[in-house]
Structure 1
Amino acid sequence: MAYRNGVYAAFDGQGKTNPSESDIRYFNILKVWAKGEDFKYIDSHQKTNAVRDTSKKETLKRALRERLSNSKVMILILSNDTNYDRGFLNYEIEKALDDYKLPLVITYPRIEGEINKQWSTLEKRWPKALKERLNDKLQKDLSCLHIKFSKEEVSRALMYMTVHNKEYIGPRLI
């Protein structure tokens, strides 16, 4: 069995190759935060060999599954540009929740005000696989936390949300 200490970050690349034009910019922010002493982050993407976007679909899926199997939590970055049903994001969510039972820290960049009063706005960002699982009343073991994308909130969530200690069971907003 894999040692599950990594953090798996997932986002929609929006089919772009320029990182400044897609949600990869938020993933890059996580990596910058991790360079400081006040943010604990072991990147699951660094635990396996790199794959190219031009790799065969099954090669990409195999690498994603390996990374997920070494992860203790998934950070899901959902912006206004996140697509409902494109690319590998839905596959990553399905595997994270169904196969690896990872808790989700669902982060929302560029949200103003109290997040717990914006459910209908946040729901518009959910990819298909997430929406199906959050709306499924039978998913009692689902562990997820909805937060703003900020260093402080992500850091705090990573202290509590792991496969080893699911502090929050069921979809919650904080």
Structure 2
Amino acid sequence: MNRTGTYVAFDGLGQADPSKSDFRYYSLLQAWSANKQIDFKITNSHEKTYAVRDSSSRATLYARIRERLSASKNMVVILSENTRKSGSVLSYEIEQAIDNYKIPLIIAYPAYSAIWNVDDDLSVMWPTALSTRINMPGTEAIHVGFKKEPLMNAIPRFTINGEHLSNGRNVYSRDAYVTWEIVK
């Protein structure tokens, strides 16, 4: 399968109402991509396979996740202060992305405009699946503020066949955020 998609993962927080979960950030990514006035395009891995219904079995859901990950060049992981440590599908998605598909992670934090170091403030939002893998050899990740510019920069760069990240704790420089006019 051609690995051209970006898989977007977030914690649905067990909510039926998407506005009460981190789904709203996924929706914002979709809106940026759909807006012809914004130079932001994402090939969404979720649109490459059959939809999964709320009534689908966990086995069906996990099979679709694996199918989508196998078509993905990278994964955007959205983490908020509400992200659960365990018990969500997000944990499975992270495990599969790192362990089986060797997909680089672009970890975006909606509570932050810019990230210049990976510290305890960020790690409290990590699901256990990420915490146990972040320092493992072979894990590739960059941590960014949830802003259009760093996401636009990271998505085409850090891919299965693109630039490789040295470890699981990479960040952009302060100068990059200044260039993007996110900070002064």
Task: Read off the aligned partner of 2:142 and give its amino acid letter.
Answer: L
- Give the aligned partner of residue 126 of structure 2: 126
* Whole-angstrom CA distance in 1 between matches of 2:11 and 2:102: 21
- Give the aligned partner of residue 70 of structure 1: 71
* Whole-angstrom CA distance in 1 between matches of 2:71 and 2:156: 17
Unaligned runs of 5+ in 2: 173-184
* Whole-angstrom CA distance in 1 between matches of 2:66 and 2:166: 23
Task: Read off the aligned partner of 1:102 and give its amino acid letter.
Answer: I
Following superposition, the deviation at residue 166 of structure 1 comes to 3.2
Deviation by residue 1:144-167 (Cα, 9 ceiling, x = unmatched) = 100001111100011211000133
Task: Read off the aligned partner of 2:93 and give its amino acid letter.
Answer: E
Q: Does the 8 Å CA contact 1:33/1:39 hold for their aligned counterparts?
A: yes
Following superposition, the deviation at residue 57 of structure 1 comes to 0.6
**Aligned length in residues:** 169
Superposed, which structure 2 residues align to 1:1-174 within 5 Å? 2-37=1-36, 38-112=39-113, 114-117=114-117, 119-135=119-135, 139-171=136-168, 172-174=170-172
Task: Read off the aligned partner of 2:42 and give its amino acid letter.
Answer: Y
- Greater CA drift, 118-127 or 75-84: 118-127
TM-score, normalisation: structure 1: 0.93
* Whole-angstrom CA distance in 1 between matches of 2:110 and 2:164: 23
* Whole-angstrom CA distance in 1 between matches of 2:143 and 2:118: 11
Following superposition, the deviation at residue 118 of structure 1 comes to 6.0
Q: Does the 8 Å CA contact 1:103/1:166 hold for their aligned counterparts?
A: no
Deviation by residue 1:77-125 (Cα, 9 ceiling, x = unmatched) = 000100000221111001000100000000000215x522461110000
Q: Does the 8 Å CA contact 2:118/2:143 hold for their aligned counterparts?
A: no
Compare the two structures and name the one with the higher strand fraction.
Answer: 1
* Whole-angstrom CA distance in 2 between matches of 1:141 and 1:169: 8
Q: Does the 8 Å CA contact 1:143/1:166 hold for their aligned counterparts?
A: no
Task: Read off the aligned partner of 2:7 and give its amino acid letter.
Answer: Y
Unaligned runs of 5+ in 1: none
Q: Does the 8 Å CA contact 2:6/2:43 hold for their aligned counterparts?
A: yes
